[in-house]
Amino acid sequence: MAKRYQYPSIASSEITPEAVYLNRRQLMSAAGLGLSALALGGTNPARANAPDTRRELAAAAGPEAFQTDEKLTPYGDVSGYNNFYEFGTDKSDPARNAHTMTTDPWSVEVGGLVNKPGKLYLEDILGSFDLEERTYRLRCVEAWSMVIPWVGFPLADLLQRFEPGSDAKFVEFRTLYRPDEMSGTRSLTSIIDWPYREGLRLDEAMHPLTLLAVGLYGKTLPNQNGAPLRLVVPWKYGFKSIKSIVSINLVDRQPATSWQTLAPREYGFYSNVNPEVDHPRWSQRYERRLPSTLFSPNRIATRMFNGYEAQVAELYQGMDLRKYY
């Protein structure tokens, strides 16, 4: 079958991750910082060298504002150590079982408090982004952490097309629910009330670091990582990054999320990465950076907002982050 979309042309199998990154940087500067025709607002991106306010970040809106130089997590760990309960609870279950999910055709329905509700096919979404220039190297953290070169684009660029209404305050996301293709949804009926659900405040959803990822390491997303389209919110714990999204709804009230519904005392709506606020059953001061083994655990200190404090702290000014965990 012909390639459906134009993903970055440098295959990770051909070169080292570092070379991928350096190459990408050169590509981006060659292409004027790599903003596609969909860049927000027509601001000159070249001026956003060291953006330090949200407005400037929004103007830049490209990967270059957020890149980390930390070593990338090998592809095998990124695609072999997953949480995707639709396919089982063990970290190795999704890689083994997620191949049963069909992702073509795929559409996303956007509705609720928007002026132009509608359904978009994946091809139409992707056809409008120049993914060649859209690799974001980001940290993702849970009890373990990884650095992943995501291919994607800001969720805001998609939401704006549907014209969020002035009464919209939150965004609710849902994952595909297709029991005959998802073994975990048949066996884990008492853990999660399917479909898997997540939510963000509208301003969090519109932040340029909130991404819809469609690939990693220059390839389409492996099913176990949430193909064909998943959220990436790198300053929040991993479970906020909902996979295989089929519906996005703008609402006026804080939506219920799967983990919060399951254990409200343990999982809050915000779930911002915060080493000062422990999970009731474990400390959140440290994370295991993969690859990690029993003998070489690779334990590192967890950073406030996973190190994206400069970019996102403004969203939570004046909020008690112990209360709103």
Ligand X SMILES: Nc1nc2c(c(=O)[nH]1)N[C@H]1C(S)=C(S)[C@@H](COP(=O)(O)O)O[C@H]1N2
82 labeled binding residue: yes
Query: Which residue number places its CB atom closest to ligand X?
Result: 238
Measured from the CB atom, is 271 or 311 closer to ligand X?
Answer: 271
187 labeled binding residue: no
Q: What angle do CA 40, 159, 58 make, to 5 degrees?
A: 30
Question: Which of 239, 246, 277, 315 is close enough to bind ligand X by CB under 6 A?
Answer: 239
Query: Minimum distance from CB of 243 to ligand X (Å)?
Result: 4
Query: Minimum distance from CB of 273 to Mo ion (Å)?
Result: 12
Binding mask 84-123 for ligand X (x = CB under 6 A): xxx-------------------------------------
Measured from the CB atom, is 39 or 232 closer to ligand X?
Answer: 232
Binding mask 128-157 for Mo ion (x = CB under 5 A): --------------x---------------
- Residue 44 class from Cβ within 10 Å (0-12 exposed, 13-18 middle, 19+ buried)? exposed
Distance of CA 304 to the CA centre of its chain: 18
Question: Which of 61, 229, 242, 290 is close enough to bind ligand X by CB under 6 A?
Answer: 242
| Residues in Cβ contact with 294 at an 8 Å cutoff, skipping those fewer than 6 apart | none
Binding mask 229-248 for Mo ion (x = CB under 5 A): ---------xx---------
Q: What angle do CA 15, 20, 24 make, to 5 degrees?
A: 145
| Residues in Cβ contact with 86 at an 8 Å cutoff, skipping those fewer than 6 apart | 98, 101, 175, 176, 182, 183, 184, 185, 194, 196, 244
197 labeled binding residue: no
Query: Minimum distance from CB of 173 to ligand X (Å)?
Result: 9
**By CB under 6 A, what part of segment 198-227 binds ligand X?**
225-226
Binding mask 67-86 for ligand X (x = CB under 6 A): ---------------xxxxx
| Residues in Cβ contact with 63 at an 8 Å cutoff, skipping those fewer than 6 apart | 28, 34, 133, 134, 135, 136, 137
| Residues in Cβ contact with 284 at an 8 Å cutoff, skipping those fewer than 6 apart | 273, 274, 275, 277, 278, 302
| Residues in Cβ contact with 75 at an 8 Å cutoff, skipping those fewer than 6 apart | 12, 216, 217
Using the rule CB under 6 A, is 243 a contact of ligand X? yes
Q: Are 91 and 83 in contact (CB under 8 A)?
A: yes
Measured from the CB atom, is 239 or 286 closer to Mo ion?
Answer: 239
Q: What angle do CA 95, 208, 219 make, to 5 degrees?
A: 30
Which residue, 247, 231, 238, 288, is CA-closest to 267?
Answer: 238
Q: What is the dihedral sign for C-alpha 233, 234, 240, 244?
A: positive
Query: Minimum distance from CB of 258 to ligand X (Å)?
Result: 7
248 interacts with, out of ligand X, Mo ion, none, CB within 5 to 8 A per kind: none
Would you tell me which residues interact with Mo ion (CB under 5 A)?
83, 142, 238-239
Q: Which residues are annotated as a binding site for Mo-molybdopterin?
A: 82, 85-86, 140, 175, 225, 230, 241-243
Q: Which residues are annotated as a binding site?
A: 82, 85-86, 140, 175, 225, 230, 241-243
